[in-house]
Amino acid sequence: MFLLTLGPHIYYVDPVTMEKSHGVQILRRRPKNFKIFFVHTPNRKYYLEDPEGYALEWCKAIDEVKSHYFPDQSS
């Protein structure tokens, strides 16, 4: 499970143990299709999948959080 927070950061939460990983700063995102999108961070590119097909909504939410904190940057 992933959580998008202010900053913008994204956190992974283990759905069984409910333990949260450290957050990563999102530099940019790129949708691949309705289920898959990429998140680029300072040190890594994450390949994320939403099995319910909301990848484009994730990208939109990331853009909205980024534009709030960094209005002069685009994704």
Most confident of 16-20, 29-33, 44-48: 29-33
Buried (b) or exposed (e) across 1-25, using 16+ Cβ within 10 A? eeebeeebebebeeeeeeeeeebbe
**């998008």: which residue's tokens?**
4
- pLDDT for 55: 94
Average pLDDT of span 43-52? 88
Domain topology for 2-69? PH-domain like (2.30.29)
- pLDDT for 31: 93
Domain boundaries, the chain: 2-69
